[in-house]
Amino acid sequence: MIVTDSEILTNTNFESLMRGVSIKRRSRNDIVVDILRVAMNGANKTHIVYEGNLNFQLAQKYLEMLKDKGLVRHEKGLFITTDKGKVFHEKAKGLKL
């Protein structure tokens, strides 16, 4: 494939294309709700990473925090949302606007 100079997207062209488009970051609450949803019936870390749209490092950080708070448990390679986590999930879902 041959690309001509007129087809190359410059920074200026990119900025004008993206004008008016905002990139929204997810809140901590949104990330936790996503992880708890994915782990509801048990999920391995890879599944949580892909379904939760996270990277492994961030997933590890959140999973450790959720385990420490008793919202998920880890058994036989799967992360499973606990009863406490299910209650939290329902309440946190209601906080989304």
Considering the domain boundaries, does residue 4 fall inside one?
A: no
Residue 49's CATH number: 1.10.10.10
- pTM for the structure as a whole: 0.75
At position 1, the amino acid (one-letter code) is M
Domain assignment present for 69: yes
> Residue 18: inside a domain, yes or no?
no
Report how far Cα 30 is from the mean position of its chain's Cα atoms. Answer: 8
Q: How confident is the model at residue 93 (pLDDT cuts 50, 70, 90)?
A: confident
Calpha distance 73→41 (Å, rounded): 12
pLDDT above 70 for 12 = no
Contact call for residues 70 and 84 (beta carbons, < 8 A): yes
- Among 55, 54, 72, CA closest to 63: 72
Domain contains 11: no
In a domain, 76, yes or no: yes
Residue 64's domain comprises 25-93
Domain count for the chain: 1
| 8 falls within a domain | no
- Residue 81's SS3 state is strand
In the block, tokens 């992360």 appear at 79
| Mean pLDDT within 53-68 | 97
